[in-house]
Amino acid sequence: MRVILDTNIFIAAYFNRKSASARIIDLCLKNKHELIFSPRLRKEVGLILKNVKAEREFQERIRSLFMNASQVRPTQKVFMVEEDPEDNKFLECALEGKADYLITSDRHLLELGEFAVTKICKPTQFLKL
């Protein structure tokens, strides 16, 4: 399955190594799912992990994750989330990468339920699939 991970998944995984978010990252690292990302998403993850002062070991795992992931460069702008326009970057990435799932804890994205061919769900819901 092709998945997009919201930045909040990385934060949850860092603060709780046994969380659903951490398990999803582990599955991607083991190539059970294909992570799709854009340069903009990768940059945001890097900044957030730096801001929370994530340990070097965790940052290295995430770097490795991105090294084995599929990068896309969105060509279409999306304006689906008016309340928080920054969330649209995840939808743009999902559209370009033809992602099966966008995994997030963000209320604005979850309220959509799906976008194009991409289902939007919480980490715990994804693991139940």
Domains along the sequence of the chain with CATH: 2-128 (3.40.50.1010)
Mean pLDDT of the chain: 97
pTM above 0.85, yes or no: yes
pLDDT in tens, 60-118: 999 999 999 999 999 999 999 999 999 999 999 999 999 999 999 999 999 999 999 99
pLDDT at 12 > cutoff 90: yes
Banded pLDDT at 129 (limits 50, 70, 90)? confident
Q: How far apart are CA 15 and CA 109, in angstroms?
A: 22
Banded pLDDT at 123 (limits 50, 70, 90)? very high
pLDDT at 29 > cutoff 90: yes
What pLDDT was estimated at residue 35?
98
